[in-house]
C-alpha cells in the first residue's frame, strides 16, 4: 500500500539556519504530494503541494521538489525564523477515493 | 469566507459518558474525515465519508460513531466504549479532486476525560 516516511524529530535549529526535512514515499502510479504545517494547539494548514514529477511547490520561503526517481519530496527553507517552529507533515494522495496518507510528522524548534 | 468549523474547542467528559464533537464545512466539499492525534504523535484516521449517508471506518474506528445526514456536517460521537478518549480530534474535508487540492482542516477539539 501507499506510505510516507519522514525524518524523525525533533529538529532544533538556530534562527537563520538552513532547514531540510526529508520525506520519501511509496505509491503506485503518480501521486500528488503535500506538506502541511501544524502550529501549537491548531489544525493542519496546507503549506505547499506538487502534483506531478519535477514540480516544485513553494510558499512562505519553503520549497519542495517532487522527485520521482528518488520517490522523495524533501522540505527546505534557506533561513528559518522562530515563527517557523511547528510540526510538519508530509502527505500523499493517490488521486483515487482513498484518504490522504500522512507521515508521522517532524517537530521543528527554532531558537533565537 | 469558506471554511471548516469544529466545536467546541475544549471538551471534558466523565467516565462512561458519550460526547459528540461537531464539524461543519461551507466549502461544498464532498468528503469529510475525522482524525485523532495524541501528544507527539501523527494522525490516525477514525472515519471518513465520501458522500452523504455513507461513511467508512478508518484505522481506529472502535469506540467511535459518525453520521453524515447533510453534506455540510459530519459529527463524531466518542462512546463510552472508547477506553482512552483523551486526545486532540481533527476534522477535515476535501473536494472530489483531493489529488489536486488536498484537505482543509478544522482547528480541532481537545477532549479530556475527567
Whether residue A8 contacts residue A23, with contact meaning beta carbons closer than 8 Å, is answered with no
Give the tens place of pLDDT for each residue, A49-73: 999 999 999 999 999 999 999 999 9
**Whether A42 contacts chain B with CB within 8 A:** yes
How far, in Å, CA of B104 to CA of B23, rounded? 12
Hunting for cell 526529508 — which residue is that?
A22
Residue B53 φ/ψ, nearest 5 degrees: 65, 20
pLDDT of residue A8: 84
Please provide the DSSP assignment of B27-65 as one string: S--SEEEEEEE-TT--EEEEEEESSTT--EE-TT-TTEE
Cell of B27: 466549502
**Whether A43 contacts chain B with CB within 8 A:** yes
- What's the whole-number average pLDDT of chain A? 94
Does the pLDDT of residue B113 top 70, yes or no? Answer: yes
Closest listed residue to residue A50, CA positions, set A2, A100, A91, A3: A91
Does the pLDDT of residue B100 top 80, yes or no? Answer: no
Cell of A16: 537563520
How far, in Å, CA of A70 to CA of A57, rounded? 17
Q: Enumerate residues 6+ apart whose C-beta is below 8 A from B39.
A: none
**Whether B49 contacts chain A with CB within 8 A:** no
Give the tens place of pLDDT for each residue, B69-92: 999 999 999 999 888 999 999 999
Neighbours of A95 (CB within 10 A): 16
Q: Which of B94, B98, B108 sits opposite A43 (nearest CB)?
A: B108
Does the pLDDT of residue B1 top 70, yes or no? Answer: no
pLDDT of residue A9: 87
Give the tens place of pLDDT for each residue, B27-76: 999 999 999 999 878 899 999 999 999 999 999 999 999 999 999 999 99
SS3 A82: helix
| B108:A42 CB<8 A | yes
Determine the average pLDDT of the residues in B95-111. Answer: 86
The helix or strand, by DSSP H or E, that contains position B5, with its residue range, turns out to be strand B4-7
First-to-last C-alpha distance (Å) of chain A = 41
Q: Which of B42, B50, B107 sits opposite A43 (nearest CB)?
A: B107
**Whether B105 contacts chain A with CB within 8 A:** yes
Determine the average pLDDT of the residues in A7-28. Answer: 95
Amino acid at each position: 500500500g501507499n506510505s510516507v516516511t519522514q525524518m524523525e524529530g525533533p529538529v532544533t535549529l538556530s534562527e537563520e539556519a538552513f532547514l531540510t526535512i526529508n520525506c520519501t514515499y511509496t505509491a503506485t502510479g503518480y501521486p500528488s504530494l503535500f506538506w502541511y504545517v501544524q502550529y501549537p494547539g491548531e489544525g493542519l494548514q496546507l503549506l505547499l503541494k506538487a502534483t506531478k514529477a519535477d514540480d516544485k511547490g513553494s510558499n512562505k520561503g519553503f520549497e519542495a521538489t517532487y522527485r520521482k526517481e528518488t520517490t522523495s519530496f524533501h522540505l527546505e527553507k534557506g533561513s528559518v525564523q522562530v515563527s517557523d517552529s511547528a510540526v510538519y507533515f508530509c502527505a500523499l494522495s493517490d488521486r483515487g477515493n482513498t484518504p490522504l496518507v500522512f507521515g508521522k510528522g517532524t517537530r521543528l524548534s527554532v531558537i533565537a | 469566507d469558506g471554511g471548516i468549523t469544529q466545536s467546541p474547542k475544549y471538551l471534558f467528559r466523565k467516565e462512561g459518558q458519550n460526547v459528540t464533537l461537531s464539524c461543519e464545512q461551507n466549502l461544498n466539499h464532498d468528503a469529510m474525515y475525522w482524525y485523532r492525534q495524541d501528544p507527539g504523535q501523527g494522525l490516525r484516521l477514525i472515519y471518513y465519508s465520501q458522500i452523504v449517508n455513507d461513511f467508512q471506518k478508518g484505522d481506529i474506528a472502535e469506540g467511535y460513531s459518525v453520521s453524515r445526514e447533510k453534506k455540510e456536517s459530519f459529527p463524531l460521537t466518542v462512546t463510552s466504549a472508547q477506553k482512552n478518549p483523551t486526545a486532540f480530534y481533527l476534522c477535515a474535508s476535501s473536494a472530489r479532486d483531493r489529488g489536486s487540492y488536498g484537505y482543509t482542516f478544522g482547528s480541532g477539539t481537545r477532549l479530556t476525560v475527567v
